[in-house]
Amino acid sequence: MNKPLLAALATLAVTGVGVAPAAASSAAPAAPASSAAPAARAVSFAGTVALSNCSGSVVRLPASEDDDPALVMSNGHCLETGFPAAGEVVVDQPSSRSFGLLNASGTRVGTLRASKIAYATMTDTDVSLYQLTSTYAQIRGSYGISPLTLNDSRPTAGTAITVVSGYWKRTYACNVDGFAYRLKEGEWTWKDSVRYTSACQTIGGTSGSPVVDNATGKVVAVNNTGNEDGGRCTDNNPCEVAEDGTVTVREGINYGQQTYQIPACFGLDNKLDLSRSGCVLPKP
């Protein structure tokens, strides 16, 4: 997967294309400009955040209101508590994690803080949703920044997308190439994953980045992994498993997990309710 930066530093791995983590260094190296395609004009860094080891974004649901506590979305494998095991679901766990909020140009303008991990898992999907101590209205009033909206409909192949990394302050533009019925990486299996075209060469630290539909500006997935060196279904080398069991390895290709299922699992005041009709996220 697109390793968190702390894991990358711990393994002293050297960055490359695909999902290789960032190079070990006392300071984060500058991202090479040549490998990132320009973002569509409508897509900016506004509302994205930098975590200590990953990327993320302030997100709202289609029915969220200004006075609701805001949510930050990243990957399950970016949790400060470590990777959730296969089958593990984290719900309503206290957290005081901080996030660096970016404006449209990628400048850090403030720090947001979590009150809890509302939901996180690496089963079927790879997502974490933090509830913040601030409301959307408070964030907008303090920083002039609005959240990104999660689309509640499934994206389609060919959609022009941009992966927006708050950690690197860098974007990756490509298209939805298709979907993996199952994506298997080590002990984890994800369902109906978004496969990017080869132009999105995401790296360590881009984990948790919002995947934005260029046409609507809405979030359709959360960036999480890619096949680093052609390995088959191993850590950092996910494989696609078709419905008939056929396994396909796509070296250098990267993936995200769809997010259209998330809104159905939240009710009034952005409160998680996994028993709601239409909610298909894994339950504890």
Q: What pTM was computed for the model?
A: 0.88
Nearest CA to 120 among 107, 110, 109, 129? 129
pLDDT (tens digit per residue) in 39-54: 445 799 999 999 999 9
Q: Chain centroid to CA 187: how far?
A: 19
Predicted local distance difference test score (pLDDT) of residue 3: 66
> What mean pLDDT is predicted for residues 232-243?
97
Q: Is the pLDDT of residue 98 over 60?
A: yes
Burial class of residue 76 in the structure, from the number of CB atoms within 10 Å of its CB (0-12 exposed, 13-18 middle, 19+ buried): buried
- Give me the residue label for tokens 């303090």: 142
Nearest CA to 262 among 104, 163, 99, 126? 126
Beta bridge partners, 266, equal 272
Cβ atoms < 10 Å from Cβ of 245: 8
Q: Is the pLDDT of residue 191 over 60?
A: yes
* Distance of alpha carbon 34 from alpha carbon 145, whole angstroms: 29
* Distance of alpha carbon 248 from alpha carbon 250, whole angstroms: 7
Q: Is the pLDDT of residue 31 over 70?
A: no
> What mean pLDDT is predicted for residues 252-257?
98
